[in-house]
Amino acid sequence: MTNTTVAAPFFARGSLVEGNDTVQKSRDLNVQFATPALNLDSLIHPRSEPPPLLNVSTAEIIEFLVEGGKWIADSGNPHMSACFERMAATHILPRSVIEAVSQHAVLYLNKEILQRELEQSFPDPQALDRWVPRTDFTGKTSFIRAFGPRLIHILPGNSPGVAIKSIAQGALVKAVNLFKMSSADPFTMVALLQSFADIDPQHPLVKSMSAVYWRGGDDTTERSLFRPQYFDKLVAWGGGEAINNLVKYVGPGFQLVSFDPKSSISMLGREVFESEDSLLAAAQSACNDIMMLNQEACAASRFQFIEGNKEQVDRFSELLQQLIAARAEASGDFRPIEAGMRDEIEALMLMDDDYTVYGDLDGKGIVIHSDEPVDFHPINKTANVVRVESLDDAVQYVNVATQTVGFYPDTRIADYRDRLASAGAQRVTRLGEAGGSTIGNPWDGMYPLHRFVQWVTHEDGFTQTQ
């Protein structure tokens, strides 16, 4: 082990676990980090014991989450400061971006937001707190409970903000939660849980959560943990290879709730070119959607389908590249373009008749203007502007992997939303607003909280009057 190895402790059911037993490597930068030995027994909450949060009211849980959010956002929080320092060595995003994302994400720990999440996700949120009675039209009575599940969360490495939302959602459904951290970010979740433990180390929320790392695909570890006698569901974020690896463990009593790998696009009507003001506004909005987390987010736009002639679309593409470059300059993120994509772009530069490439291969942003989408996945501030005669022609490129469609002008959304949904898209927004979701709305085609819980019924027979 060298002096450059970064320590990455675990958190097991309320306790910090430190140690340098295993040296790992980060996914993107190949930086070493050291973890404690993985004690699987310490991560299991026996089924003979109810979940720690079962009899804690959702109102009390929300209050604790809000209090924790204030401490997480506090500039004097030593756990978050140390986390940002460690992540600066292992994460592909610059430290300034990581801190900004975390500070924005903690706004989710807001009383009204959390209450609205519950109200939107459950017909009767009281089912989380008690057995709710109901009587059907025949007079038969029963009681319904949204019972706290046992969840394994496979966290993504592209956004530290997901960790905050995962804690909140796991707590709201009163789950026992095991968070499997990414090698790109083996720090944030533990820092967050330490912050909650500072407030009350014995709180059931703290006791119901664990965060560890193992190498994804480690069959020995995963076959030991991914069993219905220990856990109910896998909540998975990740790319296609990661999700495919998890599918093999799914079976009776052990389900997968998957935030599948997604890609997002923009659709722009010819109204863009009605004036110089509309051109600039549309380009700025498109830039907003492209540059989410420096294009690391699943909702970040990769392809921009636009109605117009070649000269018009050239003007838009050039302006868009300038805006992306300015945004990159401000963030300080000039990461080299990955070698495979660099080769693809260099080849396109030689094909003047079919492709026009704006920008340089300097990590400050590339815009490719073409009549057909490129056959690689644009990322790292790379946009593919595709000229179409009509937005009708763009619908053919929408499929079940299309998460968000940013649309301009918004007055035309109603004409397309049914067709986009039929093609597989899960979300349509105004151009420039892909990063903000209405509180409590579905995500990836589902209400996650509703999917997380175990729905249990107590059938009580017919009422005495029958």
Q: Which residue has the tokens 């059931």?
A: 204
Q: Please indicate, yes or no, whether residues 249 and 270 belong to a single structural domain of this protein.
A: no
* Least confident span in 103-107, 147-151, 265-269, 436-440: 436-440
Global pTM reads: 0.84
Average pLDDT, stretch 10-28? 92
The answer to whether position 461 is within a domain reads no
**Most confident among 2-16, 150-164, 367-381 (mean pLDDT):** 367-381
- In the chain, the amino acid numbered 203 is H
Q: Please indicate, yes or no, whether residues 337 and 255 belong to a single structural domain of this protein.
A: no
The answer to whether position 233 is within a domain reads yes
pLDDT at 463: 63
Hey, how many other C-beta atoms are within 10 angstroms of the C-beta on 21?
9
User: Residues 355, 318: contact at Cβ < 8 Å?
Assistant: no
- Please tell me the distance from the alpha carbon of residue 180 to that of residue 191, in angstroms, as a whole number: 14
The answer to whether position 96 is within a domain reads yes
Whether residue 3 has pLDDT greater than 70: no
Q: Please indicate, yes or no, whether residues 68 and 123 belong to a single structural domain of this protein.
A: yes
Average pLDDT, stretch 10-18? 96
- Please tell me the distance from the alpha carbon of residue 119 to that of residue 124, in angstroms, as a whole number: 7
First-residue to last-residue Cα distance in the chain: 75
Q: Rounded mean pLDDT of the chain? A: 91
Q: Please indicate, yes or no, whether residues 254 and 302 belong to a single structural domain of this protein.
A: no
Q: Please indicate, yes or no, whether residues 229 and 140 belong to a single structural domain of this protein.
A: yes
Confidence of residue 466 (pLDDT cuts 50, 70, 90): very low
Q: Please indicate, yes or no, whether residues 108 and 183 belong to a single structural domain of this protein.
A: yes
Supply 408's token pair: 């301009």
Rounded to 10 degrees, the C-alpha dihedral 126/131/133/138 comes to 130
- Please tell me the distance from the alpha carbon of residue 233 to that of residue 453, in angstroms, as a whole number: 9
pLDDT at 4: 72
- Please tell me the distance from the alpha carbon of residue 86 to that of residue 11, in angstroms, as a whole number: 17
| Domain at 282, CATH number | 3.40.309.10
Q: Please indicate, yes or no, whether residues 236 and 363 belong to a single structural domain of this protein.
A: no
The answer to whether position 414 is within a domain reads yes
What does the pLDDT look like over 311-336, one tens digit per residue? 999 999 999 999 999 988 887 777 78
Q: Please give the distance of CA 62 from its chain centroid, rounded to a whole number.
A: 21
Residue ending a domain, among 206, 235, 261, is: 261
User: Residues 381, 291: contact at Cβ < 8 Å?
Assistant: yes
Residue ending a domain, among 261, 285, 304, is: 261
Whether residue 2 has pLDDT greater than 50: no
Hey, how many other C-beta atoms are within 10 angstroms of the C-beta on 200?
14
Q: What is the DSSP letter of 446?
A: B
Q: Please indicate, yes or no, whether residues 182 and 64 belong to a single structural domain of this protein.
A: yes
What does the pLDDT look like over 65-115, one tens digit per residue? 999 999 999 999 999 999 998 888 877 777 877 888 788 889 899 999 999
User: Higher confidence at residue 294 or residue 228?
Assistant: 228
Average pLDDT, stretch 344-365? 87
Q: Please indicate, yes or no, whether residues 280 and 201 belong to a single structural domain of this protein.
A: no
Q: Please indicate, yes or no, whether residues 83 and 167 belong to a single structural domain of this protein.
A: yes
- In the chain, the amino acid numbered 81 is S
Confidence of residue 464 (pLDDT cuts 50, 70, 90): low
The answer to whether position 159 is within a domain reads yes
User: Residues 8, 20: contact at Cβ < 8 Å?
Assistant: no
Confidence of residue 1 (pLDDT cuts 50, 70, 90): very low
Q: Which residues of 61-74 are buried (b: 16+ CB within 10 A; e: fewer)?
A: bbebbbebbebbbe
Whether residue 353 has pLDDT greater than 60: yes
Q: Residue 335's domain spans which residues?
A: 263-430
Supply 269's token pair: 């009507």
The answer to whether position 154 is within a domain reads yes
| Residue/partner pairs of 109-115 with CB below 8 Å, 24 or more apart | 109/65, 109/66, 109/68, 109/69, 109/72, 109/164, 109/168, 110/66, 110/69, 111/62, 111/63, 111/66, 113/439, 114/62, 114/65, 114/66, 114/168, 114/172, 115/62
| Domain at 10, CATH number | 3.40.605.10
Q: Please indicate, yes or no, whether residues 231 and 369 belong to a single structural domain of this protein.
A: no
Q: Please indicate, yes or no, whether residues 244 and 277 belong to a single structural domain of this protein.
A: no
Q: How many domains does the chain have?
A: 2
The answer to whether position 194 is within a domain reads yes
Task: Please name which of 448, 447, 403 lies closest in space to residue 424, comparing C-alpha atoms.
Answer: 403
What does the pLDDT look like over 447-463, one tens digit per residue? 999 999 999 999 988 76
Q: Which residue has the tokens 């190895």?
A: 5
Residue ending a domain, among 241, 261, 281, is: 261
- Please classify residue 457 by burial: count the beta carbons closer than 10 Å to its beta carbon, then call 0-12 exposed, 13-18 middle and 19+ buried: exposed
Supply 96's token pair: 């300034």
The answer to whether position 1 is within a domain reads no
